[in-house]
Structure 1
């Protein structure tokens, strides 16, 4: 099976059906969570900046900070605007010192031609993630989230994501949270649709938490 490009909800829904066909153990998750909505963000530096801003933050906090960052930069983040912004202005927008270092470091690397974000669309998901991790401050989680949300790569899979580990441990009755290594190994059965499985596991995690009375 060829990795599809998750360009819209209809493509995602077909990929979800294919995924459940690959692993019928996932059918009960769809019954609990429903059919997840496809998450997409713009590609390029603006999308990568949004992923960096969202690291270790709630969705609401990330949105608020990113909105202030856009106001500070006069629009969606660009390499040029990021390099022109002062550290003081970026801090006033709500960025932490590590995130300022990461975003300015990425902007410098892209301006110097050390990486071209556009070329990543043509690479296998794992190779594209590895290329992204060569940028300053980018780990595998951030790389995989960028590939999945910004490029629509159906096989990108952030196995280090805590919610995915908890969801799979619950769904497969593993007696607790699945380890990152275990999650990565199980996800091999889902290639080339691991990113579709990630969407389903996030939706399942949210549905289960909502039923338990906690905010999803």
Structure 2
């Protein structure tokens, strides 16, 4: 069963963001409440991100669905260790993605990456640990912080979709999207994640 993250426009954090950023405040009024699907299981979340690299959403969901079926939805080290190279190929995983996934499994298995200890670390420390795993970049780590750990002060400035949405929302077509998101991050502060959730909803509702 999916776990949802439901944020109402009357939430104190949302109202605080609206006061900091008037343009975002107008968007919040237009959109109202937002709801996003969380990824509460760390290994599953990271594998999903690796599977989705550089392919369409539809293709990623198909391959991820096959993988889920192959391991009987058991997101454990043992389940992955049973997978053969041939089975991974049949699922549709490229050789590089196979390497990334099994590199992740190795990091967890040998104790280099301990999910249960991440709660006590800062965002920067978590990003450093995750990006030490080949195949996991900063953007993947930031998405993990948002949708798996529900950290509220994250703005993935390299997210192309968020860059495009910010340029449209703030009517800054000639400004670098990354630079604009950096400005947003500085303005939004501890409500950075909420700002991103509203930008993602803006993309969804207005086909940006």
TM-score, normalisation: structure 2: 0.87
- 2:145 paired residue number: 147
Aligned counterparts of 1:177 and 1:63: Cα–Cα separation in 2: 33
- Residue of structure 2 aligned with 1:59, choices 45, 57, 60: 57
Give unpaired runs (5+ residues) of structure 2: none
- 1:18 paired residue number: 16
Shift of 1:11: 7.6
- 2:187 paired residue number: 189
Aligned counterparts of 2:154 and 2:94: Cα–Cα separation in 1: 27
Other structure's SS at 1:38 match: strand
- 1:9 paired residue number: 6
Higher relative contact order (CA 8 A, sep 6+): 1
2:7/2:33 contact within 8 Å kept: no
Cα RMSD over matched residues? Answer: 2.2
Tell me: CA distance 1:33–1:91, structure 2 relative to 1, closer, same or farther (3 Å): farther
Shift of 1:18: 2.6
TM-score, normalisation: structure 1: 0.84
Other structure's SS at 2:35 match: coil
Aligned counterparts of 1:47 and 1:78: Cα–Cα separation in 2: 12
Other structure's SS at 2:93 match: coil
2:7/2:34 contact within 8 Å kept: no
Equivalent residue pairs, number: 204
1:148/1:195 contact within 8 Å kept: yes
